[in-house]
Amino acid sequence: MPKPSVTRTATARIPTRYGDFQLCYYTNTLDNKEHLAFYMGDLAHAEKVLARIHSECFTGDVLGSLRCDCGEQLDRALALIANEGTGVVVYLRQEGRGIGLEQKLLAYNLQDQGYDTVDANLMLGHGADERSYSLAASILDDLGVQSVRLLTNNPEKITALQAEGINVAARVPLIIATNAENQGYMITKAKRMDHLLFSKPFSSSHHSDLHEPQPTN
């Protein structure tokens, strides 16, 4: 199946506390959502670009929810990109690992009853993770990125991007400290979704050659 096509319809400078970024608005042939690229520096024909493929998390990114690590990962990614002067966050509108905000709130209620994040999704009739990264790959292609150092703890994201033809040259961890609200969530991601947390090393089947140390600010 061919990659969906994307069209960049608008770009504007966005000054942040980390410096000036460019925000790109994309339409696409796959869905009716507004996916975005937030980048700094010259990405055309660039190799080993520091990149974060970030799925929308309104509760964490905007409201500062402590139930997850999403907002902190986004903030850390922007800081690391600014430190290098070049990099990109591809912001995908796939809330709640693809189930949407309403269903995520219902899943939160189940989690408060004692179910973990995977079982809560399954009880609502969803998959544990329904996200797709085909649009992210198309956006990286549109920006001219040749290869990436991927800011992620999720080996499945590496596999998915590589399947879409993206050259993932290295993985850069985004390890965030746990708190009382998200500790169970983080443990579930590590144990049931194979996220590389708590200093867990890559296994040989999970691209051990892609691991590299966390850059410092």
* CA 19 – CA 83 distance, rounded (Å): 10
Q: Where are the beta strands (DSSP E) in 29-167?
A: 35-40, 49-55, 87-92, 148-151
Q: Which of 76, 131, 149, 171 is catalytic?
A: 131
70 is in an annotated binding site: yes
53 is in an annotated binding site: yes
Residue 171 bears catalytic tag:
no
Residue 93 bears catalytic tag:
no
DSSP state of 169: E
Per DSSP, the residues of 41-76 read S--TT-SSEEEEEEE--IIIIIT--SSSSHHHHHHH
67 is in an annotated binding site: no
* CA 113 – CA 100 distance, rounded (Å): 20
9: enclosing H helix or E strand: strand 6-16
Q: Which of 61, 67, 76, 129 is catalytic?
A: 129
96 is in an annotated binding site: yes
166 is in an annotated binding site: no
CA distances from 61 to 58, 75, 78, 148 (A): 5, 8, 12, 23
176 is in an annotated binding site: no
99 is in an annotated binding site: no
68 is in an annotated binding site: yes
85 is in an annotated binding site: no
24 is in an annotated binding site: no
| Residues near 106 by beta carbon (within 8 Å), at least 6 away in sequence | 124
* Residues tagged in the binding site annotation for Zn(2+): 57, 68, 70
Among all residues, which ones are annotated catalytic? 129, 131
* Residues tagged in the binding site annotation for GTP: 52-56, 73, 95-97, 117, 152, 157
* Residues tagged in the binding site annotation: 52-57, 68, 70, 73, 95-97, 117, 152, 157
